[in-house]
A and B are shown apart, each in its own frame.
Chain A
Amino acid sequence: MNAAADRPLQRGSNLFDVERVRAEFPILGQEVNGHPLVYLDNGATSQKPRRVIDAIRGYYESDNANVHRGLHALSERATNACEGARDTVRAFLNAADRREIVFVRGATEGLNLVAQSWARPRLGPGDEIVITTMEHHSNIVPWQLVCRQTGARLRVAPIHDSGALDMEAFAKLVNERTRIVAAAHVSNALGTINPVKEIVEAAHAAGAIAVLDGAQAAPHDTIDVRALDCDFYVLSSHKCYGPTGTGVLYGQATRLEEAEPYQGGGDMIRTVSFEESTWNDLPYKFEAGTPNIAGMIGLGAAVEFMTELGMDAIAAHERDVLEYATGALDALDGVRIVGTAREKAGILSFVVEGVHPHDVGTIADQHGVAIRAGHHCAMPLMRRYGVPALSRASLGLYNTRADIDALVGSLHKVKEIFDR
């Protein structure tokens, strides 16, 4: 390790040394199609810093064993590493208790767990679940399944053209029949930051629980589940610079206690007999089977990485790049940004008039710029805007204004090709 690597990544309280941060990500050094890689698809998944890769390799090279089972040294080390990651995540979310941190496969599994374990045993005909128009399919379909299973009804709060949630309409939808309000903290397709505190308060005032999908929020800003007072909060490790296959479900202890187990198997039980089994304590009641040990350890390292940089510094840096990008795209003839809510995180969806996003994506890729083109797992939202698909640039903490210049350059090429 050289001396520079020993210096903290963040210099001072607001100085964010993006070049040093970029140097932590081995993948960013490559060329794609003869151009330096410009990775602007962080909403789909983020790249991994060396220390996350090292943590996973270190586990497999030195500590690999099953957890909570063996009495031998390796098992103890593996167990400690996993439980250490749980403590790290607890602090990251400011949860009150480590028992409230359940490791799952990702945000999707977290939402399905809440739907099947908390909602399904409780809901019936006459009950309602309120979501919003901007939800990712993973915060729509699990609730549709529960509605089909229980006879409950799904209600959808509309959005304004800007992509901001229509809070007036939302307030009218939440009533004494509402049992669950489930909303994105940050929209993956529009970048809208929802007023989640208000959403939680409205849910609680109606006697409902609040479930927040933080998949797109956790990598970008400080999350404080106690201040939010939400009942459940989910996130995906792979969007937070950690490995795929791991995610977190935060649940208030009382909610997790009243929920049924999600899956049955090893580790989630206290006693098993053929007549009856009893459940393990939180959070293990929801962690049946051998977990993704390397994933948990990798996520722990990723959260430490973000925490060390400082979520405030990350948010400030990304805000600067987002503002720059918004100005740059606004200045382009024939480019229209979709999602212009006042409160936005680093996501920029847009339409190039007369050109399908798929063609935009291919041309950008030929210039080394990775963006996403498609429906962004939000088909109802695409319908709301009357578009089959959108192009999306989504920021990570390593993106720079120069990355935006490269994106803009590739959009000029798009116009060059299609206007000829």
Chain B
Amino acid sequence: MNDLRELYEEVILDHNRNPRNYPCRPERTNRSAHGFNPVCGDEFFVHLHVDEGIIRDIGFDGAGCAISTASASLMTEALKGRPAEDAQRLFSEVHALLTEERQIGGPGEFLGKLTVLTGVKEYPMRVKCATLAWHTMKAALHGNDQTVCTE
């Protein structure tokens, strides 16, 4: 049996209980997307205010499980104020963290707090939960207004 406490890490439970930038659609939102996982019903909207290539503000609303909610919340914290270019790299690193044995580069530095998602790796069925908000964020940045499905 895997240790459930590694999946339901303290920080994850905290972000699930009190999601940051939630429910929130920043006033000057100029990019939004809808993400949905039809298998479990997780559903988020991610809203961004991007200005001169910088993510000035970001928020999300919707509902999902602890993993998807915490991941979305951590994502908004990590991206606020960052260049939009960083978003893709961060997503790639989170994805690697969730699916690969070894992380690209040294963990922790670029990912920061996001390393708490490491425990999800032991639960392949839950990787889609952890990436739903990220896929949605990416769609918003690319101006893709189709619903993103992680299934």
Contact = CB atoms under 8 A, between A and B. Distances in A.
A34 B7 CA distance: 18
Given A373-B40, A382-B41, A366 B1 contact: yes
B4 A33 contact: no
Interface residues of B, number: 24
Contacts of A34: 1
Contacts of A375: 38, 40-41
A24 B129 CA distance: 37
B96 interface: no
Contacts of B43: 388
A362 B124 CA distance: 11
A363 B6 CA distance: 12
A356 B126 CA distance: 13
Contacts of A359: 8, 65-67
B22 to A, nearest CB: 15
A362 B41 contact: no
Interface of A: 33-35, 355-359, 362-363, 366-367, 373-375, 379, 382, 388-389, 413, 417-418, 420
Contacts of A389: 40-41
Q: Could you say which of B39, B66, B126 has the most chain A C-beta atoms within 10 Å of its C-beta?
A: B66
Contacts of A358: 40, 42, 64-65, 67-68, 126, 129
B64 A356 contact: yes
Interface of B: 1-2, 4-5, 7-8, 13, 38-43, 63-69, 123, 125-126, 129
Interface of B, secondary structure class, is: mixed
Q: Could you say which of A357, A359, A366, A375 has the most chain B C-beta atoms within 10 Å of its C-beta?
A: A359
A149 B125 CA distance: 38
Contact of B4 (A373, A374, A413): A413
A417 B9 CA distance: 9
A366 B125 CA distance: 13
B132 to A, nearest CB: 11
B1 A356 contact: no
B125 A388 contact: no
29 contacts: A33-B1, A33-B2, A35-B1, A356-B42, A356-B63, A356-B64, A356-B65, A356-B66, A356-B69, A357-B65, A358-B42, A358-B64, A358-B65, A359-B8, A359-B65, A359-B67, A362-B4, A366-B2, A366-B4, A367-B1, A373-B40, A374-B40, A382-B41, A388-B41, A388-B43, A389-B40, A389-B41, A413-B4, A417-B13
A141 B66 CA distance: 31
